[in-house]
Structure 1
Amino acid sequence: MRIDIANAFGGEPALDRTRLEELDERVAEAHDRIAEGMENDEFGYTSLNLPETTDTAEIRDAVEPFADSEAVLTVGIGGSALGAATIADALESEVEAYFLDNVDPEHTARLLDSLDLSTTTMNVVSNSGTTAETLANFLVVREVMTAAGVDWTARTFVTTGPEGNLRELAEQHGLPALPVPEGVPGRFSVLSTVGLACAAIQGHDIDAILAGAAAERDRLSDSLFDSPAYAYGAVTYALAEAGALTNAFMPYAESLETFAEWFAQLWAESLGKDGQGQTPARALGATDQHSQLQLYRAGPRDKLVTLLRPTERADRAIPETDLEGLSYLGGSSLGTLLDAEFEATEASLAAADCPNLRVEIDEVDEHGLGELLFGMEAACICYGELAGLSTFTQPAVEWGKKAARGLLGGGEFEEADQVRGKERLVVE
């Protein structure tokens, strides 16, 4: 992974080069704290140990009974699904991957109606084993499988913690069960059983994913000038402090569009605390040059744009044409055009004094994806250290969970009482 931070200077808001040198001293302190947390397997920090602690043989053994799968359906929500979806959407496979990560009844019905459940493997993912959305979707899928004459116990495995409903279910029905690693928040769990089981069923090289992550881990150092991950975390933090409160994350590869969703959860849930944080906005190059770019160049000066691309990819030639106005395209290629769009957008933002950062990987393969996933996790943790945040907690999310559970009759929660007491002013 490579980070070009040159366009963080001279814009509005901007990063001062003297400030960057001062920031590097703080990065050294942050690195020491992160390294200590990794060494002691502290909650959250142990996420950065996953490249070496994740047991890929255990994952392959667990999914081996499902080698005949034509599709894999992951039932989870948030970090229990987004990491696996990021890998599935980035890499090609003959085994299709689907995700039930919401409880929209119409979407759920359409998806289940479209699947041959006799050749679909279901992976139910919840650390606690009590996540309402996940368990509700599981019950629906199980019912649909049974109605279709499919033995759901032969097509299901779970990824969960040592206790809870899913663990009890696995023991009761003899389901294969993978453990969720201890001390790893869901949004940091992509490089574990949580994110890699689906990839293993799809036939991806999960060892190569972890090797890419390990390569990026080995580049962590006490200077942001030697670590792309820390450079990204430190510069985004400094720009946020200067007023860039939105980070528009814009991959120039369709295969990385879901990665932008994964990044959005990582950034928002980890850093949005104590009146601080940076709002992630998802965009896609070159598509959103024709929509969102107008705002980034000419709107409020409160944004940073992150441009992400692979430098190597399969290409497709553009046919020659006798239309004079299009002759410049003939003989070129779609990849060349996309790269030109990338560089033009980068220059366009700089010309409009909008700070932007360039992130590159060699290609969208297992190794490159591992680099990118680990790199952004380390960047997020670095940002959190510099900002003095509790990066690994999510108290605002827990409030909503309690409110919803109370509304459904799952217990007495004062959060649910606040929802019931909402004042209304309806215009019809």
Structure 2
Amino acid sequence: MRVDLGNALDTVAAPGVSRDALDRLDERVADAHERIEAGRENHEHGYAALNLPETTDADEIRTAVEPFADAETVLTVGIGGSALGAATLARGLDSDVDAYFLDNVDPEHVSALLDGISLSDTAINVVSRSGTTAETLANFLVVRDAMASEGVDWTERTFVTTGEDGNLRTLAERHDLPALAVPDGVPGRFSVLSTVGLACAAIQGRDIDAVLAGARAEVDRLAGSLFESPAYAYGAACYALDERGAGVNAMMPYAESLETFAEWFAQLWAESLGKDGLGQTPARALGATDQHSQLQLYRAGPRDKMVTFVRPADRDDRAIPETDLPGLEYLGGRNLGTLLDAEFGATEASLAASGRPNVRVEIDRIDEYGLGELCYGMEAACVLAGELYGVETFVQPAVEWGKRAARGLLGGGDFEEAEAVAEKTTLEVE
């Protein structure tokens, strides 16, 4: 992974960061790196996620999913970090095995998805660390009922990824289901490089060893200076730009296959850093599509944003046919990739010309190795930014508040958070 901060410097952008400011910040990066390394060495909660490239057992994952080698479809039932990491890999890589994700309880969506796949040819992976996640278990009960309606033995098509205790673990033991353990000390949004994110990729026939190898390459690049570590360079730059007013970070990959990666990044960044009145707001965009929808705001709106560009240096290409249509001759004989690269360069230059900060992140290619690099690099960047902000990166109290409120409303216990729902202020216009 390579990171270019040139268009984030104050000689280009406002807000921007001076080279002197980066030098000063680098002293804090060195201290943060020591704290991160100590956390990794002691396998502390959260920091243990940065050890996953070395601690994840790829053979264990392959063994667990071996009974589903005949699957034509894999359906992951999870939510948030229990689904987005796996979806990032699945949608970033081609496979003959289709992957779907039930990560919402919208009844129309759930029904349409289940009606559109053959459950007898589907491997079901139910993912919940606690084994009690309401949305996940509700969706699984619906899936199990749909399988019974089709005459499919759900126990033959299901495996679980969960913690040591909880409803899912009990279910797996009762029905002798294959089960993978969620790693200790790893929050869901940091779990893409574990059993949580890699099981789906393994069923799809992807090289999960290469994913972990790409991640290990980024582990080796972690150093006590932002000028020596691409991950730390990105995390430090985002923090510094936020401190100077760029409170929105628009993640804009220039590859259709990385659209879900932007969703994964949004959870990682928001849930980890949004505390104590601090943290950047992640926005999701896609190049070149959103040049025609969001770029106007980023170039000419409030100066409260930075744009992160992500692209591969190399990709498969497709020729544009020759044409004699007036004004389009310049396109004929070129390639779609050439056009996309031109769009990327023009957008990057457009933002720089208007003094809007942007950062370029590149990987060699969108493959298993490259996605391993990218995901690990962003996780390390996030942890580094959390150290600089001084927030508790690995907790999510605001999320837990909402979970308790919803559970109370459904009769799942006596939670005072549920009472706040009835106290809503209204101003209705009909």
TM above 0.5: yes
Does structure 1 residue 150 correspond to structure 2 residue 156? no
Match of residue 313 from structure 1: 315
Deviations 1:332-373 (A, max 9, x none): 100000001001100000001100000000000000000000
Does structure 1 residue 257 correspond to structure 2 residue 259? yes
Match of residue 4 from structure 1: 4
2:345 & 2:151 partners in 1: Cα distance?
A: 54
How many percent of aligned residue pairs carry the same amino acid? Answer: 75
Match of residue 108 from structure 1: 110
Partner amino acid for 2:7? N
Match of residue 286 from structure 1: 288
1:410 & 1:114 partners in 2: Cα distance?
A: 32
**Which of the numbers 177, 183, 186 marks the counterpart of 1:175?**
177
Partner amino acid for 1:168? T
- Matched ranges for 1:22-41 at <5 A: 22-41=24-43
TM-score where L is the length of structure 2: 0.99
Deviations 1:182-237 (A, max 9, x none): 00000000000000000000000000000000001100000100100000000000
Does structure 1 residue 42 correspond to structure 2 residue 44? yes
**Which of the numbers 329, 332, 344 marks the counterpart of 1:330?**
332
Partner amino acid for 1:346? E
**Which of the numbers 395, 398, 416 marks the counterpart of 1:396?**
398
Partner amino acid for 1:56? A
2:51 & 2:348 partners in 1: Cα distance?
A: 34
Partner amino acid for 1:77? I
1:330 & 1:324 partners in 2: Cα distance?
A: 11
1:265 & 1:351 partners in 2: Cα distance?
A: 30
- Matched ranges for 1:4-403 at <5 A: 4-10=4-10, 11-403=13-405
Deviations 1:223-259 (A, max 9, x none): 1001000000000000000000000000000000000
RMSD value, Cα: 0.5
2:422 & 2:416 partners in 1: Cα distance?
A: 10
Match of residue 421 from structure 2: 419
Partner amino acid for 1:105? P
1:386 & 1:422 partners in 2: Cα distance?
A: 36
1:340 & 1:217 partners in 2: Cα distance?
A: 32
The answer for unaligned runs of 5 or more in structure 1 is none
- Shift in Å, 1:424: 1.9
Aligned to 1:124, the other structure's residue is in SS state strand
Q: Larger deviation: 227-236 or 5-14?
A: 5-14
Partner amino acid for 2:401? W
Deviations 1:18-60 (A, max 9, x none): 1100011110000000000000000000000000100111100
Partner amino acid for 1:158? V
- Shift in Å, 1:423: 2.5
1:324 & 1:103 partners in 2: Cα distance?
A: 50
Aligned to 2:394, the other structure's residue is in SS state coil
Deviations 1:82-128 (A, max 9, x none): 00000000000000000000000000000000010000010000000
2:335 & 2:329 partners in 1: Cα distance?
A: 13
2:315 & 2:115 partners in 1: Cα distance?
A: 35
Q: Larger deviation: 227-236 or 323-332?
A: 323-332
2:426 & 2:22 partners in 1: Cα distance?
A: 49
Q: Larger deviation: 416-425 or 54-63?
A: 416-425
TM-score where L is the length of structure 1: 1.00
Number of corresponding residues: 428
2:204 & 2:76 partners in 1: Cα distance?
A: 12
